[in-house]
Amino acid sequence: MAYEDLIKYLRCPADRAPLDAFGQAVLVCTRCGNAYPVRDGVPVMLIDEAVQREGAEALKRYKADASAGESDSASE
């Protein structure tokens, strides 16, 4: 099963809302905004520190990578 198909079946453990995939690094709840990190292709669907810290950092990294691709060498 493709990763994109797999996440359609995943739900946020906090409120059972669907998840948005940001690349293959992080899943974000469409309702509460919890960010779930993906470790080695395996979503970590636990409501604990991993979501708050790792998930937020994974999302930050993903957005940084995405924007780095658009405007390279803007500031150093």
Q: Return residues touching Zn ion (CB under 5 A).
A: 12, 14-15, 17, 29, 31-32, 34
Q: Which is nearer to Zn ion, 34 or 62 (CB)?
A: 34
Least Cβ distance, residue 26 to Zn ion (angstroms): 14
Q: Given the complex with Zn ion, which of 14 and 56 has the nearer CB atom? A: 14
Torsion of CA 4, 68, 28, 39, to 10 degrees: 70
Which is nearer to Zn ion, 49 or 70 (by Cβ)?
Answer: 49
Locate tokens 């970590």: which residue?
A: 44
